[in-house]
């Protein structure tokens, strides 16, 4: 009986050894699968990041906006106005933007391909950027241009404009329009600031932070309210420095505002592929 018991214990021991081997094998398989899953997850994340980065960094020279058929609705926004004078220098920004917006509206009114719409009831009406964005959006525009003037101490001068930032809806269309604006202003005699006159603005802790056109990172910080809340391609243009006599002479006095308006109108025509009028009837 003792021998039989010893043989029985021996069989049980062998069974236990076989079971532990199976457990060890199963754990090894599970560990291998876990490593494969982790590697696959890292590959998928890297692939998605590459796709997103490529989408942001795709050369805009290859991009053309889809514009549909005319007439096209153009939201014309005169920066500041009413109780808000904007920057003050050789001229007052509010007066310069109103004069330019009025001249641009006249061009668009005369062209049957376009329907200009304002972002408020009048240039002497005070309205916040949020209110102006809502007014523009309510009219379902195909494009929005916000006209502003720059200011700085010293000898700062030149044109720059700000499209909707990377990662937002209408970014690529806005950059396309911004480049047309900058090219037109350069041809008219403006110096271009930054990289070809196109830049991005972000607000970090209440402070404006500049980024050049080549910086296409998708950032969490917001840009100008009017651009952030726009439901169509949009660009904010800094027409000239109101603190620079030379800049104002080019694009800030009565003749300069008329010239800038003509450049803006031609850029709009180039965006939609229409032939600009030679003159306003």
Instruction: Lowest mean pLDDT of 56-65, 77-86, 105-114, name the range.
Output: 56-65
Domain termination site, one of 57, 79, 97: 57
Instruction: Lowest mean pLDDT of 51-55, 80-84, 102-106, 169-173, name the range.
Output: 51-55
What is the Cα–Cα distance from 85 to 67, expressed in whole angstroms? 35
Please indicate, yes or no, whether residues 116 and 167 belong to a single structural domain of this protein: yes
Please indicate, yes or no, whether residues 53 and 28 belong to a single structural domain of this protein: yes
pLDDT at res. 266: 98
Please indicate, yes or no, whether residues 127 and 209 belong to a single structural domain of this protein: yes
Please indicate, yes or no, whether residues 53 and 125 belong to a single structural domain of this protein: no
- The answer to the question of residue 248 being in a domain is yes
- The answer to the question of residue 279 being in a domain is no
Please indicate, yes or no, whether residues 40 and 146 belong to a single structural domain of this protein: no
- The answer to the question of residue 281 being in a domain is no
- The answer to the question of residue 18 being in a domain is yes
Percentage of the chain exceeding pLDDT 70: 81
Structural domain of 227: 65-272
Supply the CATH number for residue 264's domain.
3.40.630.40
Is the pTM higher than 0.85? The answer reads: no
Over residues 58-64, mean pLDDT: 69
Q: Considering only CA atoms, which of 251, 222, 244, 254 is closest in space to residue 99?
A: 254
Residues sharing a CB contact under 8 Å with residue 256, sequence separation 6 or more, in sequence order: 240, 248, 249, 250
Please indicate, yes or no, whether residues 41 and 169 belong to a single structural domain of this protein: no
pLDDT at res. 63: 87
Residues sharing a CB contact under 8 Å with residue 181, sequence separation 6 or more, in sequence order: 145, 161, 197, 235, 237, 263, 264, 267
pLDDT at res. 153: 87
Q: Is a pLDDT exceeding 70 seen at residue 54?
A: no
Please indicate, yes or no, whether residues 212 and 149 belong to a single structural domain of this protein: yes
pLDDT at res. 166: 96
The full DSSP string for 38-63 is HHHHHHHHHHHHHHHHHHHHS-GGG-
Q: pLDDT tens-digit profile of 25-52? A: 777 777 777 666 666 566 555 444 444 4
Instruction: Lowest mean pLDDT of 51-55, 130-134, 170-174, name the range.
Output: 51-55
pLDDT at res. 7: 47
- The answer to the question of residue 23 being in a domain is yes
Reported as half-sphere exposure (CB side, CA atoms, 13 A), residue 100 has a value of: 36
Please indicate, yes or no, whether residues 232 and 256 belong to a single structural domain of this protein: yes
Backbone angles phi, psi at 114, to 5 degrees: -135, 150
Please indicate, yes or no, whether residues 48 and 118 belong to a single structural domain of this protein: no
Please indicate, yes or no, whether residues 16 and 127 belong to a single structural domain of this protein: no
Please indicate, yes or no, whether residues 208 and 225 belong to a single structural domain of this protein: yes
Over residues 106-127, mean pLDDT: 97
How many domains are contained in the chain?
A: 2
Please indicate, yes or no, whether residues 15 and 128 belong to a single structural domain of this protein: no
- The answer to the question of residue 278 being in a domain is no
Q: Is a pLDDT exceeding 80 seen at residue 2?
A: no
Percentage of the chain exceeding pLDDT 90: 75
pLDDT at res. 113: 98
144 vs 11, higher pLDDT: 144
Per-residue pLDDT band for 155 (boundaries 50, 70, 90) equals confident
Task: Tell me the CA distances in angstroms from 51 to 54, 114, 143, 217, one per residue in order.
Answer: 5, 37, 28, 13
pLDDT at res. 57: 46
- The answer to the question of residue 241 being in a domain is yes
- The answer to the question of residue 131 being in a domain is yes
Domain termination site, one of 10, 40, 57: 57
36 vs 94, higher pLDDT: 94
Average pLDDT, the chain: 88
DSSP percent split of the chain into helix, strand, coil, nearest 5: 45, 20, 35
Domain termination site, one of 18, 37, 57: 57
Over residues 211-223, mean pLDDT: 95
Over residues 73-77, mean pLDDT: 98
């Amino acid at each position: 009986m003792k021998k039989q018991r010893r043989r029985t214990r021996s069989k049980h021991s062998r069974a236990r050894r076989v079971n532990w081997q199976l457990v060890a094998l199963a754990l090894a398989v599970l560990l291998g699968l876990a490593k494969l899953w982790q590697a696959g997850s890292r590959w998928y994340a890297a692939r998605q990041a590459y796709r997103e980065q490529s989408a942001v960094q795709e050369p805009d020279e290859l991009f053309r906006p889809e514009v549909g058929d005319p007439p096209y609705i153009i939201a014309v926004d005169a920066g500041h106005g009413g109780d808000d004078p904007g920057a003050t220098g050789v001229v007052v920004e509010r007066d310069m933007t109103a004069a330019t917006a009025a001249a641009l509206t006249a061009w668009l009114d005369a062209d049957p391909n376009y329907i200009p719409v304002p972002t408020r009831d009048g240039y002497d009406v005070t309205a916040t950027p949020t209110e102006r964005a809502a007014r523009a959006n309510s009219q379902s525009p195909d494009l929005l241009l916000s006209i502003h003037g720059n200011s700085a101490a010293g000898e700062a001068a030149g044109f720059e404009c700000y499209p909707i930032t990377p990662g937002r809806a209408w970014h690529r269309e806005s950059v396309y329009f911004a480049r047309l604006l900058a090219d037109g202003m350069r041809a008219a005699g403006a110096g271009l600031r930054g990289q070809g006159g196109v830049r991005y603005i972000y607000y970090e802790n209440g402070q404006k932070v500049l980024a050049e056109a080549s910086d296409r990172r998708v950032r969490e910080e917001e840009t100008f309210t009017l651009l952030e809340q726009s439901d169509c391609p949009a660009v904010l243009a800094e027409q000239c420095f109101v603190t620079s006599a030379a800049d104002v002479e080019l694009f800030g006095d009565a003749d300069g505002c008329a010239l800038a308006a003509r450049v803006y109108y031609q850029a709009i025509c180039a965006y939609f592929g229409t032939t600009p009028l030679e003159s306003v009837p």
